[in-house]
Structures are given as structure tokens and as C-alpha cells.
Amino acid sequence: MNTNTAGYPQLSEAEMTSMPAHTGYVQHGQLPMAQQQTIIVTAPSFGTHNATVTCSNCGNNVQTKTEKHPSVVAWISSVALCCLGCCVAFLIYYLFFTKPRSPEWWKEHGIPEIDPSTTISSFDLFLGKKTIVDKDAFVYNKMGPFCGVVESSSPIILLKDLDVMKKILIKDFDHFVDRRNAFPIVDKNSVMNKFVASVEGEEWKNLRQSLSPSFTTGKIRRMMEHFNSVGLEWIEMLRSKAKESGSTKIDVLSTMNQYIIEVIAQSVFAMKTGTIQNPNTIFAQKAARLGSMGRLTDIIKMSLSPRYPKVFEMLGIEVMDQEALSFFVKILRQSLEARLKGEVPKRNDFQQLLIDARKGELKPVGNDELDTFEKEAEIKSYKLSSMDKSKILTDDVIVAQSVLFFLAGFTGVASFITMATYCLAMHQDVQEKLREEVEPAVKEDGSISYDDVAQLPYLDMVASEVLRKFPGQLRLERVCAKDYHDPESGLVVKKDTVVVIPVHAIHHDKNTIKIQTNLIQNISALRTREKGILLLTCLLELVCPRNCIGKRIALIESQAIIAHLVHNFRIEPTEKTPSPLQARFIGNLPFPPKDLELKLTPLK
């Protein structure tokens, strides 16, 4: 590049022609308008060319103004981007602003339709202005025994009649074997496809039959050693925090997570993570990425994925954090390999139970190890197909169930314990009465046995009332496997239709369960209620064949840590504790509010 006498850079003809063919127009602003010249130069195809040119008339610098003429690739990219924008706009319009048609068979069989979109639109749900709890409550208060609702272009049937629910979940279970998946799984090779909660039909029946011996009372009793050892370490950590000032204020959910993460690590992964002493271990960080709902993207994905699974599959959006998931899968695979090679001693943990089940070393489920609800489910159960357990409980399946056990335990148990601790803090009379019941059950070393926890009736009632107020699932959902007709109620359900039991709405229906304003009145009322209606849909879920197989472990684990808490601390609200508690509802799950604070004061 040369310069003229004034020192300005001057492009030679060769330099101009060597640039990509991307023309620009340069106007010389110093000349009178009538005498202005347009000098044609070339500029790079992408990005503005910053070189200046020299006017041949006066030798002064001329400022450039480049007008790009995009290449074919850039043009195609622009068109593709425009098309994508149009598709997204159309998708948003279709999903949130159009009302799908209801199926004709609703009218033919007398199923009334309720349209909640006039009050609670899909866009309100998307923006978080309303939740699925608001929507179900709106429909529930208007419906009869059952009704039809078009939800995200899919027809669903909501139930209100408890007798119909029992038929759907237990008596006529063979029509409603499968659940609606909580979230789509894009990667078909993912371990999530092998979750017992995800598989369907005969595959589920065989897997469930193979897993059942691992969840009997005797096997759960063996895992109490982990609940006690971790619980005592956790209690000691809290005591040390309160030592200096006589009490300590805690972020409840974060503190509960320290216990949950460590107890799951020891009872599933056979490892000690040190999370109780250091809540920021790599294990805890990865667990938070999988189970917490702190990020906006997590909330959006969890809220929308059950309603628009095809959209997520089409766009390849995974709900779970794949990096964190791979972290735990890798650990579990390494642990399983070491156990199978005999490189580590046997432990009383979940993965070892599954290995023993595969080898046939666990005794079959016997009535002496079944509680009342399990016996009822077994009597009304289905006929399972027989298959070699070694072919069912493959390495991948064992790893998958271990991951599921971790996920369900981390999110569900932590939320439940947080809610229960809050309720006890806000009702000192209930807390004191519970403490009186727990004291005799705690041994000198601070531990508590499975049998003692299971035989504390007031603790059971407190847990029941917390589950009523904050059920573990906002809904129970079942997919109709074959056309169904109930002659008594007149309900007709076509194949592939989703049947929904609005758990939260039922649990807060004052006409059904006579809710009192005071927690202790509700707990006292439990004594006179029929056991089968105690938790309503939660108990129906327990007794139905397709229940949560780990629910009893989760309940015992939760009750044990609550017993440890009330035995060692007085739990009180602080000036920051909200009243009433506003839970977060994300997807089909309840979560405690962020930054919930309580005060713990050691008793001894």
C-alpha cells in the first residue's frame, strides 16, 4: 500500500482488485454536492474494510462507506435464520395461543369438558404467572366425578371421585400400567431410558418383579446404619456451629442437602464425600446441577418438557444436565465393576442389594416383610411374566436404578424434610409433643433403630400431615393401555389417553378431608380417620402396583432425620422466616422457597 504526498494511504489498482469482490461506495464529502465523485473500491466479504482512499482531484483523504453484497453462503444463512425465526414464532403461537379441538368421543360418552384457558392460559404457565396447581384447582372446583381437559394439544381426563381413582390405580390396573414420562429423553442410549419409572409394559413388570426383593422391610432395616452414622455426623456439625453463640441460623434446604447428599453417597455410591463438613465438594456441586431448580433454564425445561415432549425431542433439548449425569454414571460403573471383580468388601447399600438380586441371593418377598399397604397391592396385583433376573438386571439397568435412587432421594427427601422442619418451627406445640415421643426411642449413642422409627405414631402423623400439605407429586398420571369403561361411574377412556389424579387439589379440598386451620388439630384428626383415606391419593399411590418403589426408604430416612433434629435442637423461626410458606411448583414437583431460614438451638 502506497501513500500520497499528504501521507494518506493510497490503494493501488492491484491491491483493490486482489480483495474479494465485495463492492463499496466512497463519497468525497469535501467537494460541492454537484461535483462529488463516487469512487468504487473493493472490501472484504465479511466485516467493513477500514482503509482510506485518496481523491485524485485534491489528494485529500476520503471517508469510506461500505455497502455489503453478501456471498451465497451468507445469503443462505440469512434465509435459514429467517425461516427458523418464523418457525419459532409459529410454534409459540400454536402452543400458547391456539385452542386444540377436543376428541369427539368425549361428547359421545358424556364426558364434560372444562376449558381453563379462559382464566389460566398456557402463556401464563410459560411465564410463571400461574402454575399447574392453579390450573388443577380451577378445574377441580368446577368438575364433577371426572371431566375432560385439552392440555398442550393432548386430551386428558381428570378424576375427582376417590372410588374411580382406586379402580384406575389398583382394581383395573391392567388398563393403566404405564405412567406418562416426566420428561422426554432425547438420547435413546441414555441410562434414563432404563429407569424403572420410565420403562413400560412387560419390560416394567419384569424389572419391578426383579427389584422388589431389594425394597422389603428387612433390606431397608439394613440401610439404617447409613442413616444413623451420617445423621449423627450431621447433628455434630450443626452443634459445632451453634457452640459459640448458643444457636445457629441455617439455610434449611442447603443444610438438608448436606445430609441427603452424604447419606445417598454412602448408601448408593459406597463412598464418603465429606459434604457435611464441606458443602462445596465436587460431588455436591454435581448433585446440585442435577437436582436443584436454581437456574432459570432448569425451571423452564422442567416446566415445559412434560407438556411438550415432542418439541424437546425435535430440538434435541435434554432436561437433565448431561455432564453431571455422566459424572455419576461413571462413578457407579466403576463401583459396580469393582464389586463384581471382588475388589471391595460387601456393603449394606443399594447397589449391593441389586447385585445380590441379580445373583438370586435375596430371599423372595414374603408376607412377613410386607406392610399392610404392600399386601393389599400384592393381592390386587398383576400376573408377572417369568424371566431370568440376570437378563433383566444387567449392568446398565443396575447403574440406571442407582442413578434414579439418587435423583429421587436428593430432590424428594430434601424438599420433604425442609417442609417438615418449617412446619415444626411454626408450631412449637407439635414440636414439643413429637420430642416427647422421640426421646425414649433414642439410644445412648444417639442412634435410632428402624423398628423404633416405624413405631412412633405421632411422628407418622406429622409426616402424613406434611405430605398432605406438600405432596411429593402434584399429580399422578397414568396412560390408558387399552380402551376402558367403568359401568358404575360411566367413565370411558380411550387407549393412549392420559388420566390425571390432581393430588394437590384433592389434598387441599376442605370438603373431602375437613382441613383445620391449626396443624395440631389436623394431626389429632388423623387418629380418627380411616387408614385408607389418611393420605388419600398418596396412600393410593403406595398401594397401587405401579407405586414409587423407593418411597418407603425415603419415608424412613426422612422420619429418622426429623427424629434426630427434634431430639437435639429446638427449631424456631427467625425474622426472615416467611409465613405462610410459599412453595415453588416446577413441573410436577413442589420445591421449598429459596433462602428459607430457621434457627436451631441445642437442647443438651
CA–CA separation, 19 and 201 (whole Å): 66
What residue type is 170 in one-letter code? I
The set of cell numbers assigned to 276 is 457435611
DSSP secondary structure letters along 33-54: GGG--EEEEE--SSS-----EE
Residue 200, CA atoms < 13 Å, CB-side half-sphere: 11
CA–CA separation, 331 and 337 (whole Å): 10
Question: Length of the chain, please?
Answer: 604
In 135-219, beta strands by DSSP E = 146-151, 154-159, 178-179
Region for 485 from its dihedrals, namely left if φ exceeds 0, alpha if ψ lies in -120 to 50, beta otherwise: beta
* 3-state secondary structure (DSSP) of residue 343: coil
* 3-state secondary structure (DSSP) of residue 444: coil
Beta strand 248-251 with 597-602: parallel, antiparallel or unpaired?
antiparallel
CA–CA separation, 398 and 395 (whole Å): 5
**Structural contact between residues 537 and 471, judged by C-beta atoms closer than 8 angstroms:** yes
DSSP label of 348: S
Contacts of 318 (CB under 8 A, 6+ apart): 185, 186, 187
250 φ, ψ (degrees, to nearest 5): -125, 150
Alpha helix stretches (DSSP H) within 317-394? 322-340, 350-359, 372-379, 389-392
CA–CA separation, 157 and 150 (whole Å): 9
Residue with cell 489498482: 13
Q: Distances in Å between the alpha carbon of 329 and those of 257, 269, 356, 537?
A: 20, 10, 20, 33
How many helices (H) does the chain have, and how many strands (E)? 27, 18
Bridge partners of 42, per DSSP, are 23
CA 114 distance to own-chain centroid: 28
- Cis bond upstream, residue 580 (ω within 30): yes
What residue type is 439 in one-letter code? E
Q: Distances in Å between the alpha carbon of 160 and those of 144, 146, 228, 409, 534?
A: 7, 6, 41, 29, 16
CA–CA separation, 445 and 453 (whole Å): 16
What residue type is 465 in one-letter code? E
**Structural contact between residues 501 and 165, judged by C-beta atoms closer than 8 angstroms:** yes
322 φ, ψ (degrees, to nearest 5): -70, -35
- Known binder of ligand: residue 548? yes
Angle among Cα 197, 203, 205 to the nearest 5 degrees reads: 75
* Residues flagged as binding site for heme: 548
Residues at the annotated binding site?
548
